Structure 1
């Protein structure tokens, strides 16, 4: 008879790894966290396989093999969640919290309560960062508000299309919207540097974390994860460039003549 604590331990390890992977952690961090939890729970001969779209955990407890596999469908960047999981896993590994406390924490993180305030806060912070980035990239004060508004609208559009479009297509639509808005704002006299406005609005979508994690995975020997993350970064970059290119072609060849 397998003790229920074994199932709870492997669930804790699996959920912690899933949350790390979904929120931008690199492969080595995910594997290390899962191994820490499993070792503390008393597992032997633990094997962990992590790649960007899935996790497989296999370990022996009290002479019985337990396995957990999880498919990862969506990924984002949320370093706050990564920090919480790091803290919880290490406290559990050090014996400072119980298995039940750790499992409750990751279950709560897995099913967060929707909050309109938090969504608006993230939206405003991202838009503000885009406006500031436009200034840092050489734009003038008049470019700040157009970039801020364009970034906010791009984020809203991506949120709307998330229900029926693949992630790369969402990014493509975001680039398309940013390119159209940049040209439109400048022609209205609401901003002066179209290129800097567009780049600033799209800066939060640039796959910098994916590219960084790809390099880190290569360095640590996780070649499969490194290749997959590198391909993801290239696809997202191509989608951004393609969306902006199409938007500028449509705007200057057709829409500009009709609107102005």
Structure 2
């Protein structure tokens, strides 16, 4: 590792598992101190115990204003600043007809995948601006770029994340805050069975057949891309929605 994030302080939401855990591990390996935020407090507490003093666990519902305020405060009180915010927490309905998604599921999808970006931005931007700038990274999806039947309302929420990213990038540029998005293809995470509808060899083969490189994404794939976009190597990159998808969107 090359300490590409030495001296940086980051928050990663949804850090208790999947892409969020992979991103948090990689950031710490590269020298960052990281607030591990997740609605599953037990998961992030265990991860923080493993990762040591460079990490801090916070139980947070990213759709709740008070929890988001506390999450941002944990970074400033625990580590003294905030340089990087990764809005990674996500939720999806099960792959099915758009007519069969419940209103409760719809509301939860929009709260976790859209409102959470709004809330975290309101509280993180003043902190970043006070320290001369920062980076916001939103986990979107290939679903927001090439939507397909079965995940319509999830697709729509990720379209929000992509458009919000681009608009935020332009508006926050004068504050020296860069904003980018990651667009993973379906990955080996706990939500994979919901994306597919059911986790069977046949469904896996069907989904993999749409990915030219022939496999799902992994937390390491997403962590590597996230590391680049938040590092100083990407200091002139803002407003992009980076496809990490094995060629899925070609």
Q: TM-score, normalised by structure 2?
A: 0.26
Q: Which has the higher helix share?
A: 1
Q: Which of these two proteins has the greater Rg computed from alpha carbons?
A: 1
Structure with more contact order per residue of length (Cα contacts < 8 Å, sep ≥ 6): 2
Q: Which has the higher strand share?
A: 2
